[in-house]
Structure 1
Amino acid sequence: MALTILIVVLAILALGYLRAPLIAWTVAALAGIAYSVFATGCPIGWLIGAGVVALILNLAPLRRALITGPIFSIFKKITPAMSQTEQEAINAGTVWWDAELFSGKPNFKTLHNYPAAKLTAEEQAFLDGPTEELCRMIDDWKIVHELKDLPPDVWQFIKDKGFLGMIIKKKYGGVEFSNTAHARVVTKIATRGGSAAVSVMVPNSLGPGELLQHYGTEAQKDYYLPRLAKGLEIPCFALTSPYAGSDAGAIPDFGVVCRGSYTDPRTGQRHENVIGIRLNWEKRWITLAPIATVLGLAFKLHDPEKLLGGKEDIGITCALIPAEHEGVQIGRRHCPPGSVFMNGPTMGKDVFIPMDWVIGGQDYVGQGWRMLVECLSVGRAISLPAMSVASGKFASFVTGAYARIREQFGLSIGKFEGVDEALARIGGYTYQMDSAQRLALAGLDSGEKPSVISAILKYHNTERMRKVLNDAMDVHGGKAVVLGPRNYLGNAYQTIPVGITVEGANILTRSMIIYGQGAIRCHPFVLREMKAAMANDGVEFDKAFSGHLGFVLDNAIRSFVLGITGSKIASAPVGGDIAQYYKDVERLSAAFALASDMAMFSMGGSLKFREKISARLGDVLSNLYIATAALKRFADDGSPKEDLPLLKWSVLQALHDAQEAMTGFLANLPNRPLAFVLNWIIFPLGRHFTTPRDRLGTKIARILMQPGAARDRLTRDCFVPQEETDAVGVLNHALNAHIEAESTEGKLRRAQRDGKLKALNAKGRLDEALQAGLITQAEFDAVTRARRLKREVIMVDDFDKMLDKHDTEISSREPV
């Protein structure tokens, strides 16, 4: 009897793990019951009953009549209604690798078959040429603290070289770069100056150019796109208002369809008694508004007289309005922290515009929300994630060098374990951020618009940027506390809230968007069930619901089997140590799919209001994405052995973070008996995903502090000036000089300790060592140079009493 039970249990586990179809389960069950009847004398009624159940389950008409039909009736009643804005948000973009992660069994061959994000020769030349030249023109201290704007020559260079037309097609005068090129250009500029990066980023992200290319009329494209590409028009897009920030669907700004007259400021021509829109708006936090010549405006449109022949409440609409148009007001500037990119309010009262100023013309009235969410699914994956990557690369470069150069107690501070730990986080999170965006860019360049992944990038890259810059500030200590031209971290640190807040506040993105969209879009059956309910399609619901039940059962069994075996039996596309990472991702993917279904089952429509639960499930999905992005990036780079510490840290941290998010979900699931069962299934042997070991972190710290291929790959696209007089440029010179002089400095310390050197200061002991023949002239020169450059690195600026003029001659002073 025990053997029979064991065989049954193993058969169930095998069928579930292999995701066997319903017919296979049926055959196996009938075979087992038949064996019991004929071999052990069980009643024949068992077999007859099993056969009846098998017929009901396998014959769709019977199944619909007896099982899924009644369930469908209940489902239609309890499924919450979906608003038009919710439908448009869910339908926006595409599902991609995120759907594989939601499947419970991601196909890693699919992952590795995605083409790597690469630049064309033309794009690489632009990155190495005009972008490099632009970076050399940027003096971020002068821009932020003195000019309060980009210098006129920098603005003109940006316009002349096509930086404002990266997304615009060549036939309209743009450079028509890939999303990868767009992101890497922004990344490089951002490593030199945030204000310049934002000024370049915004016209190429969500705004008039993007919307015109996708939805504009031919006349709108022909007029505006060439002018936008050459910087003859400076665009801004007015979406957020004082009363509707992240909740863009609740914007109070409105327009009313009516007849009116206007003068076109572009031509000076007067138009009388035409059908148009009378607008009223107040917008805030609009980037480039203070210098914009053309205003993209989002508003709610009403047609009380039904002049357009349709409904009265038309919905969100987008229009393009010249800034010089009568009634348009551009307010005074806002002052973002740590940067001075142009940002400000715009207002308008009873501003009349013609109908053909609506983006796309009259046919696109009421389509504004769809336009915005579809474009946002692309732009959100590029702009702020690229600036976050820039912060990580820059922090890795400067902090690694500084930690090797700066000494305390006769030792580089990077060799102290506390600093070593911070360096590991800086390098590891940078690898995660860069990998996550590279995978998303590969999808964008292949035609995907992964809306869920774009939300993952926006939240997790900007949050990791915050962690990286905090650690960089801590390692630099007093060097980063005092503002001045030599402080290359201060402005970036102050700018952190900008990335956290704009394009959807991070709190909202995490708690509502990532999982709120992902649970419906990426799940293989939920959206099908909801659409079937809305269409009253019982046949489609039967197919989806039946598949859904099998999906839940399979993931429950797979979660338990993978948990009990430590994922060892799972497959992986590679061998060696890295293979286990793929297997662990598969295990947590199955657990995530199961947890998602149980959350939806136990909470129903109220789940979308349980933001903490939703946020934790979103964290699981996000960290699975980050782990797989790191694995993909490592493979695309040719699996360089030197990068293994970065890969391992990134994956282990992501797996641990996913596990902790799952733990938080189980601890707070309202249905406690269900939570107990899920915990037993998902973690049958406990939680074993730990944070990366200290030794692994030390290897990353060494990568950051030592020139080499791994450091170069991690900090690729980081602009590094060559001049020793530049606060960033001096770091490489000082690092190389410090490494060259380290052995001699050690010799000097030993000589002092042994009483061979008597001078009271470092300079005196160095002279004494040369005179005594303890060091050679070459060693003396190397130490002298290293100390001079080290002083350049560690010194901070001082100013006059009014903080107006900083001292540019600090390095000329002799050290005491």
Structure 2
Amino acid sequence: MDFHFTEEQLMIRDTAREFAEEQIKPIETEIDESGEYPKELIMKMAELGFLGMIIPEEYGGSGLDMVTVCLAAEEITKASAAVSLTMGLHNSLVGLPIIDYGTEEQKKKYLPKLASGEMLGCFALTEPNAGSDAGNQETTAVEDGDHWVINGRKQFITNGPVSDMAVLFAATDRSRGPRGISVFLVDTDTPGFNVGAIEKKMGISASPTSELIFEDMRVPKDALLGKKNRGFRVAVTTIDAARVGVAAQCVGVAQRAMEEAIAYSKERKQFGQHISGFQLIQAHIADMAVMVESARLLVYKAAWLYDQGKPCGTAGAMAKLYASEISTKVAHKAVQIHGGYGYIKDYVVERLYRDARIMELYEGTSEIQRISIALDMVKKG
């Protein structure tokens, strides 16, 4: 068992850390308060290769492993969970299905542009009546000559308003339920593709989330990704891998919250001494440190399994479940250590607390993770 990272992995982690410190942190509060998508910042990330880490070199990416992606994701998320979401999308939900299921033509069309930032992507699976029950797709795709005609609505789509292309799921045979879902690669300038309501969220404000509405949208037959009616399998395998990256983001939020709490405890004085000297504060810090490190180990085990080509679904679910829940707990403790100051926007822990809460909801709720883990445990006996 080797817990050491390679020189390349450490170099990329340090590059991400430097970028976060120099480019993101100076504007982290500004973009949270304004809610504006930091397109210029995202393009700088693309120039450094962070949008194409998982994309093979022959398609303009870096061809890196999941462990390296997680190292970078943690560092970027420490500065801004909202900014890290575009990086996460391109290196998982958008990039992976094209890599794993795309034709050569589809790979050449999309992957280089996703890696360079020329195109931004989104993953259009969730619907008003298809959240945790993702197989209940009401968006339909009907064959019409050399085209598919797509009608329906998607909900809570990250990057929806700013994307240039979408990995879009639709029912091609509703009578078959999850076995009748297909996937399409769709350019957002296609007639009939419309952005609906843009959500006002509790946290990750600089990451735009919206409805997508499709009205008689015609896409060519070759927009189909993979095989007809095999789209649910694409969703499951993609999300299994994506959860590993999300778990790394959770660790990033928790790590930053802990760092802020420790720094504050060493500055704040009460009863004539720094509060870091009080045992109750020390107990909070110890709990935070154990939770963060435990979550980090779960993340890198899941990432390692993925890189070895081994099943990582349950390991990813465990990592995502635990890391998301401790992210909230650590942020909660960070606010508590700050006292009343932690409740005002002048202190970053207030934002971290809001940002952490989404982690238990997207990419599968904690309840879904528990069901997935339990089913696998029972199956294995």
TM-score normalised over the length of structure 1: 0.45
Q: Deviations over 1:451-486 (max 9, x none)?
A: 1111111111111111111111100112211113xx
User: Which residue, out of 110, 122, 125, partners 2:11?
Assistant: 125
Question: What is the identity, as a one-letter code, of the residue corresponding to 2:228?
Answer: V
**In 1, Cα distance between equivalents of 2:113 and 2:36:** 26
**Structure 1 314/456 Cα, relative in aligned 2: closer, same or farther at 3 Å?**
closer
SS of the equivalent of 1:229 reads: helix
**In 2, Cα distance between equivalents of 1:179 and 1:336:** 29
**In 1, Cα distance between equivalents of 2:248 and 2:10:** 17
**Structure 1 435/313 Cα, relative in aligned 2: closer, same or farther at 3 Å?**
closer
Residue 291 of structure 1 is matched in structure 2 by: 162
Q: CA RMSD in A?
A: 2.1
Residue 62 of structure 2 is matched in structure 1 by: 175
CA contact (8 A) 1:123 1:177 kept: no
C-alpha displacement of 1:160 = 1.8
User: Which residue, out of 507, 510, 524, partners 2:367?
Assistant: 507
User: Which residue, out of 255, 263, 270, partners 2:141?
Assistant: 255
**In 2, Cα distance between equivalents of 1:377 and 1:130:** 24
User: Which residue, out of 116, 119, 132, partners 1:246?
Assistant: 132
**In 2, Cα distance between equivalents of 1:408 and 1:130:** 37
**In 1, Cα distance between equivalents of 2:54 and 2:372:** 26
Residue 146 of structure 1 is matched in structure 2 by: 34
CA contact (8 A) 1:117 1:180 kept: no
SS of the equivalent of 1:165 reads: coil
Residue 201 of structure 1 is matched in structure 2 by: 88
Which structure has more strand as a fraction of its residues?
2
CA contact (8 A) 1:287 1:342 kept: yes
**In 1, Cα distance between equivalents of 2:177 and 2:375:** 30
C-alpha displacement of 1:434 = 1.2
C-alpha displacement of 1:241 = 0.4
Identity rate, percent: 25
C-alpha displacement of 1:338 = 2.5
Say whether residues 1:155 and 2:42 are aligned partners.
Answer: yes
**In 2, Cα distance between equivalents of 1:415 and 1:313:** 56
Rg: which structure is higher? Answer: 1
CA contact (8 A) 2:75 2:252 kept: yes
CA contact (8 A) 2:203 2:358 kept: no
Question: What is the identity, as a one-letter code, of the residue corresponding to 2:159?
Answer: L
Q: Deviations over 1:613-651 (max 9, x none)?
A: xxxxxxxxxxxxxxxxxxxxxxxxxxxxxxxxxxxxxxx
Structure 1: gaps (5+ residues): 1-111, 260-273, 305-310, 524-816
Residue 359 of structure 1 is matched in structure 2 by: 225
C-alpha displacement of 1:368 = 0.7
Say whether residues 1:277 and 2:148 are aligned partners.
Answer: yes
Say whether residues 1:516 and 2:375 are aligned partners.
Answer: yes
Question: What is the identity, as a one-letter code, of the residue corresponding to 1:222?
Answer: K
Find runs of 4+ consecutive structure 1 residues off by over 3 angstroms: 311-314
Say whether residues 1:466 and 2:328 are aligned partners.
Answer: yes
Residue 633 of structure 1 is matched in structure 2 by: none
Structure 2: gaps (5+ residues): none
CA contact (8 A) 2:136 2:178 kept: no
User: Which residue, out of 187, 191, 196, partners 2:78?
Assistant: 191
Q: For 1:368-767, what aligned pairs fall within 5 Å after superposition?
A: 368-382=231-245, 384-484=246-346, 487-510=347-370, 512-520=371-379, 522-523=380-381
C-alpha displacement of 1:195 = 1.5
TM-score normalised over the length of structure 2: 0.93
**Structure 1 502/429 Cα, relative in aligned 2: closer, same or farther at 3 Å?**
same
C-alpha displacement of 1:440 = 1.8
SS of the equivalent of 1:347 reads: strand
**Structure 1 394/314 Cα, relative in aligned 2: closer, same or farther at 3 Å?**
closer
**In 2, Cα distance between equivalents of 1:196 and 1:312:** 35
**In 2, Cα distance between equivalents of 1:501 and 1:130:** 26
**In 2, Cα distance between equivalents of 1:312 and 1:462:** 30
C-alpha displacement of 1:134 = 4.4
Question: What is the identity, as a one-letter code, of the residue corresponding to 2:45?
Answer: I
**In 2, Cα distance between equivalents of 1:427 and 1:489:** 16
C-alpha displacement of 1:303 = 9.5
**In 1, Cα distance between equivalents of 2:372 and 2:325:** 16
SS of the equivalent of 1:352 reads: strand
Question: What is the identity, as a one-letter code, of the residue corresponding to 2:294?
Answer: Q
CA contact (8 A) 1:290 1:332 kept: no
Which structure has more helix as a fraction of its residues?
1
C-alpha displacement of 1:117 = 6.4
Say whether residues 1:331 and 2:183 are aligned partners.
Answer: no
